[in-house]
Each structure stands twice: as structure tokens, then as C-alpha cells.
Amino acid sequence: MKWLDDFFERKTRRVAQSASRRSALVKVGKLFVGTAFILPVLPFDRMMPTAHAGENKKAVEDDTSCDYWRYCALDGFLCTCCGGTISSCPPGTEISKVTWVGTCRNPGDGKDYLISYNDCCGVTMCGRCACNRNERERPGYRLGVHNDINWCMANGSNAYHCTVAAIVGVGEKRG
């Protein structure tokens, strides 16, 4: 294998002769200077201060958006996108006999509300406005606060279509 050693020795010597330490330093210097000029002109998001304003508006006003405050523990398709409303099932479906609940804060008035999430049953999945939020949601052994279950299980038809979010109580501040 001496020929291999000789080969690599020759190559290494040639590189060492043609590339000095100074030229390596010059290349690194150029890279630094280039970066200093290029970075400031790269595009970046200048909307930062207002970026969350739209999101907050959706959380208060748009019940077809998963960001809407009442959906804080909803896992399913929003009935508001499937021909129903936020608290009534679309025509041709029936509301689940059993349900899970969540507690969500309304950013509009700062109050906490108890929300009943009922599935709408009897027709195949709506498929629009999928939403999966899990604030204060608990695993299946706490059934009433678990959302990853087909709550149509107690209805005549178990087919799941979408989910509504009705207010069933409001929290009162103690003090």
C-alpha cells in the first residue's frame, strides 16, 4: 500500500504549497464582512407588534376559527363550518346524549365559562374545520373532561359528524 501513502502525501504537499494560512484567513475575513452587509437586507417579519392582533380578533369574533375562545378543549370538526351553529347540530344530525366539558376564558369579558362539547351524530364525518385544542383536557380515565372519544356512542347511530360548543355555566369570582 506504499503507492497509496505516496499518492496522498503528494496531494497533501501540493495543497499545503498552494494554500497558505494567510489565504485561509482572508477567506474567513471575507465571509464575515459579506455576512455583515447581507444580513441586514434579508427579508424578515416587520409586522411583529401587530402579528397577534388578528389572532385575538378571531378568538373573540370568529366561531368558524379553531382559535375561537369557546373551542379551548374541542377535538373534532367545527359544526359552524358544517351547516350548524356553535350550539346546534346541522340538519339531519342529532346531538350526542353524552358529552365532555371544558372551562374556557372569554377574552372579551375576562370571565371563565363552562362549555359543553357535544358531538353531532348520524351522518359521516363533516371533514371541514378540523380543530384540536386541549386546554385542561384530561386522559380517558377522567371521561367527562376527555375529548378524544366519539361521544356518539350512546346514540342510535354512532356516526360522528361534527362538534358544538354550548355555554352551560359561568364562573364567579370569589372574593
Residue numbers annotated as active site: 100, 119
- Indicate which single residue of 72, 81, 119, 123 sits in contact with ligand ABN (rule: CB under 6 A): 119
Residue 68 interacts with ligand ABN (CB under 6 A): yes or no:
no
Taking alpha carbons only, the member of 140, 139, 152, 165 closest to residue 67 is 165
What are residue 102's DSSP bridge partners?
115
Which part of the chain contacts ligand ABN (CB under 6 A), choosing from 32-40, 57-65, 102-110, 142-150?
142-150
**Residue among 60 and 114 whose Cβ is closer to ligand ABN:** 114
Residue 75 interacts with ligand ABN (CB under 6 A): yes or no:
yes
Q: Are 65 and 159 in contact (CB under 8 A)?
A: no
Sequence-separated (6 or more) residues with CB below 8 Å from residue 114: 101, 102, 103, 167, 168, 169, 170, 171
**Residue among 59 and 102 whose Cβ is closer to ligand ABN:** 102
Which part of the chain contacts ligand ABN (CB under 6 A), choosing from 23-31, 54-62, 146-154, 164-172?
146-154
For the bound state, the minimum distance from the C-beta of residue 77 to ligand ABN, rounded and expressed in Å, comes to: 8
- CA 86: distance to chain centroid? 21
Residue 24 per-residue DSSP state: H
Any idea which residue has 377522567 for its cell?
142
DSSP E strands, the chain = 75-77, 94-95, 100-105, 112-121, 130-132, 160-170
- Indicate which single residue of 63, 72, 73, 76 sits in contact with ligand ABN (rule: CB under 6 A): 76
Say if residue 162 is exposed, middle or buried (CB neighbours under 10 Å; 0-12, 13-18, 19+).
Answer: buried
For the bound state, the minimum distance from the C-beta of residue 169 to ligand ABN, rounded and expressed in Å, comes to: 20
- Indicate which single residue of 98, 101, 114, 149 sits in contact with ligand ABN (rule: CB under 6 A): 149
**Residue among 113 and 151 whose Cβ is closer to ligand ABN:** 151
Which part of the chain contacts ligand ABN (CB under 6 A), choosing from 51-59, 64-72, 86-94, 141-149?
141-149
Contact residues toward ligand ABN (CB under 6 A) are 75-76, 119, 147-151, 160, 163
